[in-house]
Structure 1
């Protein structure tokens, strides 16, 4: 039997054993992918005047994408030394590899930017986050958690102060659409959108990668740590929502924001539950006191990071249980999680093909989502069974090896 919660040891072409893969991390990544797909394919609000939140909006909005980002940091830690971060030449080689892989992700994202689709594609922002995290790859967990804490507290305030300045020019330094190749002709506008004014502002979202990198430097294979992730993550997530509720309801924050908006019929209560992306969060410091999904506040970052840590801990424990039972119950999910770039890209293309067109007779948004979810899990099972990489994962892996001065044959 293999070590708990890990895949069996495999060997390179030269016969050198590889470190076993933490399958629970891949399973958590698969869950993040399915959650993001749900928010893309299913409505997050009911079609009524009050924009009543749906269960999808309440469960997944903000949390799925944040889980995806935290796990990106975990993955970077696992590929750059795990508990013993690389140093010296090995660290610089790893940084070059991550940078080249980020360019592959950015190229895919910029290409998807040409599609007409009602999805905020995360890939270009994701690539920029990879570049921003490079200076931190050699740090140990203590320093990483310190940086993450400071950034969680400071970055929302920095964004609140700088966003109005970036939105003041005409046109504002904001795209209002997914970045594509043509937008590179306006580098200042693209930079403003990616860093502060877009859907996934890198300035605040760097917090997720710092937390993920710190978590990945911990001994994730230990059951005690896995239980601690569930407990600490749950406490952090509940505290953030509770404290935001006190500030918004008991201390008058929501009433102050409603008054600042100036429209008593504006569905602020619903937006605070599901999504503040696209809402002008300026003119009142009370915006910094919410924990609303996609608000990018300290409480939002704390809540979603806590959820991500708890989900990671649960998935690691489930992988341990499946290993103990000698039943690979998570294979479809972990297989999907190991090829999220390919599957996410395919999902965006499918949704783009449906955008602006009536659904085929007999189909509903629920059917569109479940058909894609089942396809994702089936492909995950096949690729995990055959130990294949996804096609875009091959490109990213090749770029990573190139940056490290290796080849596919000599890895």
Structure 2
């Protein structure tokens, strides 16, 4: 007996609905904080802007791209702290002991360090941050069981104290910044390697640990219920950071002192204030701690960029919350944001290909505005479209994220989902 046409139509509708639900679930899985994925891709795209576009013009004045300098990488670091807590949440909830979560953290940290060393060994254009991330992930184990209030306090104190310690150590021991990507060859000089990692490199662990701690604190708050509070907190950090620096420089005489010091030592004051100090402020005067320039590693830089990161996270999660079940509409952003390690690594490699192809000799600079725009468009399109297709047809995890997760599963026991009291999903993102 043949089926009725209406029955076939209903069956087709049911299958179509099930397929659509599966697709939507891939892009917006239940329990996942989609806003964090969106914030990650904003950080990634903003970093690509700073990697591709010139931050200063021929006269040394900042361009529009300098707006993202320091802020993009800070957002990326704060989100890494969020991911660390989320990736260990189920294990801590199931077992209640730090030693049960430690292996997965250390494996992830070691994998990130290895990937960072590989990228640093082949990259001639970027300062790869992953080795520093791996070190900070391992150090974060000591703070993983702390509650949000304690983490907020520690992060704030870290932002205020660590730059002072760095300034003292660098000025006392006459340590000069070393602006070289961290690669396998650095193991030949372990003392220099450790000094660069913690004190004198592009992303000194001593100061950048504050971003990780801040991210850990943020995600331990119920973000969905405290969006306005988090945004206000971030705004407060930003105002204190920028406002405090402005007062010290313009009211208490810091600007005049720095002009004199920069002339004495041949330091580009405009670059330090607006385009970046490449990791740490100069150590020739304690007044340098009063600036809030990008990548200066001062208290005011850490406070203002940390505040910007918290505001961005709150705003992105607010958008995802407002969309609710329609948050799959954010897939062009959330898909690449759910696999940031893979996207970042691919961007580092692709930049080595696109820069010579579009500009010629990379040592001649970033090229013309048209060449920079073309290069950015290539990166942006690739790193939006490819993750979308990967997530739809291959796996919800990126290739590097999936590989690390597989290693963790094969080397440590999995937590029982029935013992975890929280609906939040683990987050394998970096």
Residue from 221, 226, 241 that aligns with 2:224: 221
Say whether 1:200 aligns with 2:203.
yes
Q: Which residue of 2 aligns with 1:71?
A: 79
Q: Aligned ranges for residues 124-139 of structure 1 at < 5 Å?
A: 124-139=131-146
- Partner Cα separation in structure 2 for residue 339 and residue 126 of structure 1: 16
- Partner Cα separation in structure 1 for residue 180 and residue 241 of structure 2: 30
| CA deviations over 1:198-231 (Å, ceiling 9, x no partner) | 0000000000011110111111222xx1122222
Aligned length, in residue pairs:
384
- Partner Cα separation in structure 2 for residue 333 and residue 151 of structure 1: 32
| CA deviations over 1:9-44 (Å, ceiling 9, x no partner) | 78xxxxxxx972111111101111111111001111
Please report the RMSD computed on the Cα atoms of aligned residues, expressed in angstroms: 2.7
Say whether 1:259 aligns with 2:260.
yes
Q: Which residue of 1 aligns with 2:190?
A: 187
Q: Which residue of 2 aligns with 1:337?
A: 337
Aligned 8 A contact 1:159 1:196 in 2: yes
Q: Which residue of 1 aligns with 2:244?
A: 243
| CA deviations over 1:261-287 (Å, ceiling 9, x no partner) | 225986413430221226761121111
* Cα deviation, residue 147, structure 1: 1.4
Q: Aligned ranges for residues 296-375 of structure 1 at < 5 Å?
A: 296-323=297-324, 326=326, 328-355=328-355, 359=359, 364-375=371-382
Are the structure 2 counterparts of residues 396 and 390 from structure 1 closer, same or farther at C-alpha, using a change threshold of 3 Å?
same
* Cα deviation, residue 81, structure 1: 2.4
Q: Aligned ranges for residues 1-400 of structure 1 at < 5 Å?
A: 20-48=31-59, 51-57=60-66, 59-81=67-89, 86=93, 90-165=97-172, 167-168=174-175, 175-222=178-225, 225-262=226-263, 267-277=268-278, 281-323=282-324, 326=326, 328-355=328-355, 359=359, 364-386=371-393, 387-400=395-408
* Cα deviation, residue 237, structure 1: 0.8
* Cα deviation, residue 328, structure 1: 2.4
- Partner Cα separation in structure 1 for residue 112 and residue 153 of structure 2: 28
| CA deviations over 1:27-67 (Å, ceiling 9, x no partner) | 1011111111110011111122xx1101111x210000000
Are the structure 2 counterparts of residues 323 and 382 from structure 1 closer, same or farther at C-alpha, using a change threshold of 3 Å?
farther
Are the structure 2 counterparts of residues 166 and 366 from structure 1 closer, same or farther at C-alpha, using a change threshold of 3 Å?
farther
Q: Which runs of 5+ in 2 are unaligned?
A: 1-22, 361-366, 416-425
- Partner Cα separation in structure 2 for residue 278 and residue 302 of structure 1: 15
Name the SS of the counterpart of 1:74 in structure 2. helix
- Partner Cα separation in structure 2 for residue 20 and residue 8 of structure 1: 13
Which is richer in helix?
A: 2
Moved more, 276-285 or 310-319: 276-285
Are the structure 2 counterparts of residues 208 and 327 from structure 1 closer, same or farther at C-alpha, using a change threshold of 3 Å?
closer
- Partner Cα separation in structure 2 for residue 399 and residue 175 of structure 1: 34
Aligned 8 A contact 1:333 1:380 in 2: no
TM-score (norm 1): 0.86
Q: Which structure's CA Rg is the greater one? A: 2
Q: Which runs of 5+ in 1 are unaligned?
A: 1-6, 11-17
- Partner Cα separation in structure 1 for residue 273 and residue 248 of structure 2: 13
- Partner Cα separation in structure 1 for residue 143 and residue 411 of structure 2: 18
Moved more, 313-322 or 392-401: 392-401
